[in-house]
């Protein structure tokens, strides 16, 4: 059995010196510290670090932005915008699940996703 393997199995990482052209999808948490020209999607958390730059749509359960995003954000569970963030695009997240820290630079339209509750039909 090989014990030298690091336990990074739960994390995808785009390092600061990497430039990616195209779409990225991750089943696990992903941290973008480099540049992505394309969409980023994931089933868990997507983090754009302070050095990260995404030119495209980001969609995931939880999105944390500390870097630069030029594109739309769709968070299915939670959206956090850190004070160092610079966002240009549309931001969507569930009601009560958008956090924007003071100092963030936004040229964005925010929209709250309201869960549609099933309504009972009225009988005549």
Phi, psi of 87 (to 5 degrees): -125, 135
Could you read off the pLDDT of 64-100 as tens digits, one per residue?
999 999 999 999 999 999 999 999 999 999 999 999 9
Q: Write down the pTM of the prediction.
A: 0.84
One digit per residue, the tens of pLDDT, for the chain of length 124 reads 344 344 456 788 899 899 999 999 999 999 999 999 999 999 999 999 999 999 999 999 999 999 999 999 999 999 999 999 999 999 999 999 999 999 999 999 999 988 765 555 555 5
Closest listed residue to residue 79, CA positions, set 108, 53, 55: 108
């Amino acid at each position: 059995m090989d014990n030298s393997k690091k336990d990074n199995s739960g994390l995808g990482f785009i390092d600061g010196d990497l430039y990616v052209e195209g779409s990225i999808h991750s089943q696990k948490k992903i941290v973008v510290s480099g540049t992505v020209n394309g969409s980023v999607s994931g089933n868990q958390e997507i983090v754009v670090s302070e050095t990260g730059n995404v030119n495209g749509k980001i969609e995931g359960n939880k999105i944390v932005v500390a870097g630069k995003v030029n594109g739309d954000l769709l968070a299915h569970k939670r959206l956090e915008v850190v004070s160092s963030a610079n966002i240009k695009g549309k931001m969507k997240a569930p009601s009560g699940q958008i956090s924007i820290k003071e100092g963030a630079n936004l040229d964005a339209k925010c929209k709250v996703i309201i869960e549609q509750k099933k309504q009972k039909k009225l009988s005549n």
